[in-house]
Structure 1
């Protein structure tokens, strides 16, 4: 978490020093431009990765388009409150949503009283993907996924795992791991990543499923044993950690990440969608942004609107399968 907050402070401090020439869009990007102030709705609190990416994009768009671009944090309901607000806005390009797996893939299956549907949003492009990470308390002696699998086979129901909350990406990462291996662990949900990490560090919970940060510094310091990352590729921030899919044949298709992308209301016309998509591409191609992304342990993941739409659809179906098998149903709080 500290590293993410540091990245956000650096982004905000550096934005004022950027020269216009450094981020001028190519002429092809100027076919459509906003005619009034632009709102970027971040359905999460300030300081996290969703917020960081929203502010990076806002600073870029403000210079590229010559209009004020302001981030509005609308947290609550697992991201569904801010998402609902974005859906109700006009699709004229002046309201942009920064999305993530919670409200834009998981919510459709887990919430019984969700107020919106996937087809009310127009995916524009993903921006970044960050792995989840699996770690173990050193007292377990477990240092790899094969060792975890072997221990669970020999000692059913002896271990528990922590996550940042029921239905969150780390929880579903653990659930999918257990579904694919046919093993059992008791899930202990916490109210956020911080308390889950503290429980794991104290040894109260033996296994932790978490976003890459804040767990990675604890793995690097040796206070937790890193077992794997959950994306298809190893993380440049932790190149010695194998991927989940490297670890066992039944995990060969495992791929879970925290991703942060851009959406518009479904009514947005194609010129608006295309103009914003190309600005996202321009943002991710900047050297200063590449450095910021790397400091977050992330990788850039630009795509066309169709590619991002296909990705979000696949993510929604993947999480729906996990949720259905777990029998998870919740109400939006």
Structure 2
């Protein structure tokens, strides 16, 4: 969620659309089209991965549907402000949400005063998944998850770990690691990924749990030791970094990622859901989009509405369990 792509690159990619990229109308689902401007609500600030995927989708839909598609950034309160805006809209296909784990999986368990529920949204398809990464300051000498586990057991009070903030995906990633291995460490939360990374580079914290970017370039420069990525498979951007699952038997089912998918208001009828799903599939199959996704350190993750719905439900349950064991409760503010 913190990886930055310049808006110029996104708009340049969008400008590459042509009539040759138009999706054939080969099914009833593809026959539905909007009759006015499509709003793409991004519940985050411009520049991050949520925003990038929203702009790529907007450009694709505009070219294929023949109606303007505009991105509206509605950031704040962990993504819940923008998400609540979509929940309040009609399910007529003219308001689309780009969701992510924060407001669409974690928020339901961690916030006491949520303004919407999961069943008020209709999952359409995921777009991409990006691993999180766990790294260590070189001064620790720790270079792998087995070494980290051994060090914590031998030195239970020597290490601290940092993240972009309480309840954020990187925090819950490492909290789950500690829960599964039965280990304890002090968490040092920061106000965002940038300050957490700077503390990790300075050695103010010894272990950093972060999104793949911006940590990966620091790993490649030798400023941090990569211990593991958090997805079941290794990242194509850094295939030499092992997965958490490879680190210990207790981590055999470890799977955490930053994912970015598409939702509609729950009242959206099946033809609209299916038409949007069809366009997402077509977009993710384009070579230029594949290149953009690879540059983000991500992999595409298209699925049917039912597959994405099942995935989001599983993510929500997973994070609920981690949050409950951590005893975390916060207010939306």
TM over 0.5: yes
Residue 231 of structure 1: how far off its partner (Å)? 0.1
- Tell me the alpha carbon deviations over residues 215-253 of structure 1, each in whole angstroms, 9 at most, x when there is no partner: 000001100000000000000000000000011000000
Partner Cα separation in structure 2 for residue 303 and residue 54 of structure 1: 17
Q: After superposition, what is the alpha-carbon deviation per residue over 1:30-75, rounded to whole angstroms, capped at 9, x for unaligned?
A: 3100011100000000000000000000000000000000000000
User: What secondary structure is seen at the aligned counterpart in 1 of 2:51?
Assistant: helix
* Offset of residue 24 of structure 1: 3.5
**What is the DSSP-based 3-state SS (H/G/I as helix, E as strand, rest coil) of the residue aligned with 2:5?**
helix
C-alpha deviation, 1:14, in angstroms: 2.7
Contact 2:13 2:288 in 1 (8 A): no
Q: Deviations over 1:245-268 (max 9, x none)?
A: 011000000000000000000000
Q: Find the counterpart in structure 1 of residue 64 from structure 2.
A: 64
RMSD: 1.2
Number of residue equivalences: 332
- The answer on whether the counterparts of 1:163 and 1:189 sit within 8 Å (CA) in structure 2 is yes
> CA offset at residue 26 of structure 1?
4.2
Determine the C-alpha separation between the residues in 2 that align with 1:23 and 1:218: 40
SS at match of 1:231: coil
Does residue 288 (structure 1) correspond to residue 291 (structure 2)? The answer is no
* Deviation per residue, 1:56-105 (Å, 9 max, x gap): 00000000000000000000000000000000000000000000000000
Structure 1 counterpart of 2:11: 12
Q: Give 1:202's aligned residue.
A: 202
Contact 2:129 2:300 in 1 (8 A): yes
Is the 1:3–1:295 contact (alpha carbons within 8 Å) kept by the matching residues of 2?
no
Q: Does 1:22 align with 2:21?
A: yes
Q: Does the CA-based 8 Å contact 2:134-2:207 persist in structure 1? A: yes
Shift of 1:187: 0.3
Query: Separation in 1 of the partners of 2:249 and 2:332?
Result: 37
What does the per-residue CA deviation read over 1:162-193, in whole Å, with 9 as the maximum and x for residues that have no partner? 10000000000010000000111110000000
Partner of 1:47: 47
Alignment of 1:74-113 (within 5 A): 74-113=74-113
Q: CA deviation at 1:9?
A: 2.6
Q: Deviations over 1:254-295 (max 9, x none)?
A: 000000000000000000000000100000000000000000
